[in-house]
Amino acid sequence: MADLEIRDLTVQVEDKVILKGANLTLSKGEVHALMGPNGSGKSTLANVLMGNPFYQVVKGEVLYKGQDLLAMSPDERARRGLFIAFQYPVSIPGVTMSSFLRTAVSARRGYDKELMPVGEFQKLLKQKMDELKIEPAIVSRYVNEGFSGGEKKRAEILQMAMLEPEIAIMDERILHFIKPSYVHVMFDGRFVVSGGPDLAEELEQSGYEGIKAQFEVIAAEVQAEGAVRRAGKVFWVAH
């Protein structure tokens, strides 16, 4: 059984449909990169997976380890091991990184209303910061307040290391740091191409125009044939 299954997912914001029948399957140990022009649906999918109420699921389902992810609250999703690194992390004035991390790790590890013992937390925090070569001073500052772009990224990496999520959703550009197992290209709320790591390199060099042209031709052919197909089910493998 796959760890995460997205089936025929259609999502709208107000009256505008953003995702149009998205299908994707992820298993443990895999790195999936979602690529595509701005506005193609990548961030929308990330927000839906984490339970952002601004996005309305019109149709489809998402299974997380066989259970209905869409029925879970955002808090429950995080406790069960989903993590998102936001493209634009928000600041939390008055809350230190150390306090924030201790509360989050305590919830993730099932401490319920109690917090992880200070000594145990400090030991784990030091271990992770040493491994990541992160300056200790960052955890005494308020979350993301006055952070540079690089400091925000380091803070999110530290959060991910501390929480040890089952699935990490990185709503940002990371292809220069992590080689994906699979690459999926989105256009207009649909997955239109799936391939391996070479596809990412090809797109980095040539852009999306060639794939976009192919997608538009196939979409036109489907419409001309009068074929009854759900949006998002047009797939072809890039060479």
Mean pLDDT, 10 residues at a time, the chain of 239 residues? 92 93 91 87 93 96 96 95 88 97 94 90 97 95 94 92 92 66 87 84 75 59 43 32
pLDDT the model gives residue 224: 46
CATH of the domain at 218: 3.40.50.300
pLDDT the model gives residue 112: 73
Q: How far apart are CA 139 and CA 151, in angstroms?
A: 11
SS (H, E, C) 108-163: HCCCCCCCCCHHHHHHHHHHHHHHHCCCHHHHHCEECCCCCHHHHHHHHHHHHHHH
pLDDT the model gives residue 193: 83
| Residue 81: inside a domain | no
Copy the structure tokens of residue 7: 């089936």
Domain end among 108, 135, 165 = 165
pLDDT the model gives residue 87: 78
pLDDT the model gives residue 199: 83
The C-alpha R_g of the chain, in whole angstroms, comes to 20
Copy the structure tokens of residue 149: 């772009």
100 and 145 co-located in one domain? yes
| Residue 78: inside a domain | no
Helix 97-108 and helix 118-132: axis angle, to 10°? 110
8 and 39 co-located in one domain? yes
pLDDT the model gives residue 102: 97
Q: How far apart are CA 57 and CA 32, in angstroms?
A: 22
CA distances from 118 to 29, 113, 123 (A): 32, 15, 9
pTM: 0.80
Could you list the residue range(s) of the whole structural domain that residue 182 is in?
4-72+172-237
